[in-house]
A and B are shown apart, each in its own frame.
Chain A
Amino acid sequence: AQSVTQLDSQVPVFEEAPVELRCNYSSSVSVYLFWYVQYPNQGLQLLLKYLSGSTLVKGINGFEAEFNKSQTSFHLRKPSVHISDTAEYFCAVRAQAGTALIFGKGTTLSVSS
């Protein structure tokens, strides 16, 4: 079975500061990894995904994530955040075809001026 742990439930940060949202996963098989963002009163939007190849993945809105197989991590980073990045961020894994996405509990990113 797979599981996802998002290490921080809340991350407060000032505008234009860098941010890292941490995600660790557990799986006995290879996985595909995803980061989604959820703005208030909206559904989930895909930020980026790691399927294979380069371990550094670039996504939308200036976000990027690095897959580290030895550390079983997939941390999300942004070098300079904006107020509009305030949202909840979910890390998810999928191991096999036909199985559901397994989500972490989410990290609330709060950006203030």
Chain B
Amino acid sequence: KAGVTQTPRYLIKTRGQQVTLSCSPISGHRSVSWYQQTPGQGLQFLFEYFSETQRNKGNFPGRFSGRQFSNSRSEMNVSTLELGDSALYLCASSLNRDRVDTQYFGPGTRLTVL
């Protein structure tokens, strides 16, 4: 099976712009979670989508949003970019939402905000 794919892999934006990142989960996986990874804060949970509905949300401002499509692919959007949004954004997919389900991670999108 193909793994989790994320596009683009690298992105450079300037402050105030907005950005959309894409994630394709492993075939058959219905849950998609997004995480932000920075050197200072480590890995922080952004949100989780399941059956096209946001099921869980981390402690991030409303500038961070996402959605999931009927084929389980997911996108996250960050509006009005700030310098502090520079990070590696990781997407993870799992079969369902059971706590035994393993999350499989994609390679990430490296976002640099100038």
Evaluate contact between B103 and A32: CB separation under 8 angstroms.
no
Residue of B6, B45, B100, B108 near A101 (CB, 8 A) is B45
Interface bracket on B: 20 to 34
B1 within 8 A of A: no
Evaluate contact between A100 and B99: CB separation under 8 angstroms.
no
Evaluate contact between A98 and B97: CB separation under 8 angstroms.
yes
Interface bracket on A: 20 to 34
Evaluate contact between A43 and B56: CB separation under 8 angstroms.
no
Evaluate contact between A36 and B42: CB separation under 8 angstroms.
no
Q: Which of B42-90 contact A (CB under 8 A)?
A: 42-43, 45, 48, 55-56, 58, 90
Residue of A36, A43, A106 near B106 (CB, 8 A) is A43
A55 within 8 A of B: no
Evaluate contact between A44 and B90: CB separation under 8 angstroms.
yes
A56 within 8 A of B: no
Most A CB atoms within 10 A — which of B4, B33, B99?
B99
A105 within 8 A of B: yes
Evaluate contact between B56 and A99: CB separation under 8 angstroms.
yes
Evaluate contact between A44 and B45: CB separation under 8 angstroms.
no
Q: In the complex, A52 Cα to B43 Cα: how many Å?
A: 25
List residues of chain A with CB within 8 A of the CB of B98: 97
Q: In the complex, A43 Cα to B55 Cα: how many Å?
A: 23
Separation in Å of the B65 CB from the closest CB of chain A? 17
A95 within 8 A of B: yes
List residues of chain B with CB within 8 A of the CB of A94: 99
A74 within 8 A of B: no
Question: Would you mind naming 11 contact pairs between A and B with Cβ atoms under 8 Å apart?
Answer: A41-B107, A43-B90, A44-B92, A46-B103, A94-B99, A98-B99, A100-B33, A100-B48, A100-B56, A101-B45, A101-B103
Q: Which 5 A-B pairs have the closest CB atoms?
A: A100-B45, A43-B105, A103-B43, A44-B105, A43-B107
